[in-house]
A = this chain, B = another copy of it.
């Protein structure tokens, strides 16, 4: 059951749902015409279908392994990386001055989503490079840019992110890796980093690590952290990989899924590194990379959801079971409960993809116009896109397994791999709980203004839709009104625990309402058609979930700590 890139879905959504015309209308992205966008998506889609999808099972069956300190990647992954690199896909949104295509993040997001649906464990490698490229572009010295960016963009070298340490996970400020000045402008980096995705490979000439570490005069906490680029091989005078740096892969983690992606424990023993950005300014630079990565991880979830949905649909259409009703295909796809699962999967994929692309559009508009309201919109949507994308990935993979019945639990089917692989996306790049706390904390430091502006847009579209689709419009309007009330309530809470207690249900409800909003846009563009049918399914059946979630979000921390730890254990 091969992966099929959902190119036409993107084309429809860019035009009718998420307002990509705004992006194409800016000077900066003037070349992103409809034809150009279609060509890019089709070309990337072909790569995903023909090169990456056939590698999906390889990664699972033949995991990356560590041999004598060297990572050996899964069969075909080296060729896969080369095809990604040769197509220019690593640099799709990278600056043209350094060999990138300079295209909108919206296209990058679509391409990353497709690559994730085809082969998640391999897609994670270019995603890591993309984050590094963006961090270096915005924070590194010209010299570092000249040396690193062309090679990262071309895929000759690969990049990684090194944040986590055993005692410093969600609390990155607790890290203890040290950076000592060598006196020649470089630094000696020492410490251990864990959970380093693609910490090494056997297909690029160099692996460049962006490492968070503390300078001797760095204060405790996040304010004392600096960022360094630490290459596996020290570049010689010509910029080619030279002497090996003092760093190594200690071990690979034995994970539940994503076996094609080597998750490394990295040891730095006085490794030579170069400062990126200001001393003690590491968190700022890291946030550039993390925001990129969060959107990317949301896209991973949506991509896996698309892959798992296609996989389940193909199975359901082939599987005969029970007495077929008259006029039925005889397959289980015509059973009401199976059809419910398929429709739910499809409607949820659309919703999550819309949120993802709307976030990307906001980032592009922020980059193209510099307007603060677009920046606020992008900041607001990033945690929602990350969580809704990854939760949709997990739920659709779960439902897809259920569609398979007994076969779903058998590894050969491939349904289980989606389920195992995607699970990590709710954990890495900031757990989904951390994202939700970001939404009701940092992202509401404006008193809920950015959220209110978005809800205003939702209500405005709903008002306009009343004439054509009165029932759907009313449902979306009502849902957004409840969301508005809850948002105001949350923004008014001074004790942060009263916000945090309901952060996750609030974020989920926000996602549901946004899903209704974008489905309504699709219905308006396709009255009486398949888009309206799917929108009606979502808005009538799935959107009502927001009521229970928002009820939960408005309770605050009351009673949350009512049981002692001892009572919890009884």
Contacts and interface: CB of A to CB of B under 8 A. Distances in A.
Contact of A409 (B313, B410, B423): B423
Interface string A149-182: 0000000000000001001011100100000000
Interface stretch (A35-43, A98-106, A292-300, A399-407): A399-407
A136 interface: no
Interface stretch (A72-80, A111-119, A200-208, A530-538): A530-538
Label chain A's interface by main secondary structure: helix
A569 B312 CA distance: 11
A30 interface: no
Contacts of A568: 313, 333, 342-343, 346
A562 B340 CA distance: 11
B164 A336 contact: no
B427 A408 contact: yes
A473 interface: no
Contact of A431 (B257, B402, B428): B402
Nearest to A437: B337
A148 interface: no
A170 B405 contact: yes
Interface string A540-570: 1110111111011001010111110101111
Contacts of A343: 560, 563, 568
Interface string A254-272: 1111000000000000000
A63 to B, nearest CB: 12
Interface in A480-509: 496-497, 500-501, 503-505
Interface in A323-369: 323, 329, 333-343, 346
Chain B CB within 10 A, most for which of A255, A317, A323, A560: A560
B405 A336 contact: no
B329 A565 contact: yes
Contacts of A322: 170-171
A44 interface: no
A432 B419 CA distance: 18
Contacts of A254: 410-412
A424 interface: yes
A406 B567 contact: no
Contacts of A334: 561
Contacts of A170: 321-322, 405
B337 A500 contact: yes
A8 interface: yes
Given A427-B402, A428-B406, A555 B570 contact: no
A549 B541 CA distance: 8
Contacts of A456: none
A477 interface: no
A501 B542 CA distance: 13
A436 interface: yes
Interface string A407-444: 01111100010011001101110011100110000000
A195 interface: yes
Interface string A173-194: 0100000000000000000001
A31 interface: no
Which one of A194, A409, A500 has the greatest number of beta carbons of chain B within 10 Å?
Answer: A409
A304 to B, nearest CB: 15
A49 interface: no
A253 interface: yes
Contacts of A567: 530, 533
Given A339-B561, A423-B419, A409 B256 contact: yes
Nearest to A407: B169
Given A171-B321, A411-B254, A569 B313 contact: yes
Given A337-B433, A530-B570, 5 more contacts: A256-B416, A339-B560, A533-B562, A536-B562, A537-B559
24 contacts: A167-B320, A170-B405, A171-B322, A310-B569, A313-B568, A333-B568, A335-B500, A337-B501, A339-B501, A339-B561, A341-B433, A394-B398, A402-B432, A406-B428, A420-B420, A530-B567, A530-B570, A534-B563, A537-B562, A540-B551, A540-B555, A541-B555, A545-B548, A548-B548
Sort A-B residue pairs by CB-CB distance and give the 10 closest, nearest first.
Answer: A336-B500, A533-B562, A545-B548, A544-B548, A256-B416, A544-B551, A337-B433, A336-B497, A541-B552, A171-B322
